[in-house]
Amino acid sequence: MSFQQLLTLEDLAKLLGRSPDTIKKDMRRNPDAVPPRLVLPHTRLLRWRLCDVNAWLEQFVQVVVVPGATK
């Protein structure tokens, strides 16, 4: 089994450029606005795997094609 880096609420907030309070509110009112979290049994800790956060962010990448642009 490979180790996955875990992020705290504060880590996730810094990564996304949002406040921890906003992330907590979005978890309740708009769960699609935050990456899926890791649920650890018998604890209320808020943790995210970095690989899950990266995969979640990847789905929002948009490639912009400029007409007439050359490479």
Query: What pLDDT score does 67 carry?
Result: 85
Rounded mean pLDDT for each run of 10 residues along the chain, 71 residues in total: 84 97 96 94 94 95 81 61
User: What is the number of alpha carbons within 13 Å of residue 44 lying toward its C-beta?
Assistant: 1
Query: What pLDDT score does 2 carry?
Result: 63
Query: What pLDDT score does 8 carry?
Result: 96
The pTM of the full predicted model, rounded to 2 decimals, is: 0.80
Query: What pLDDT score does 54 carry?
Result: 96
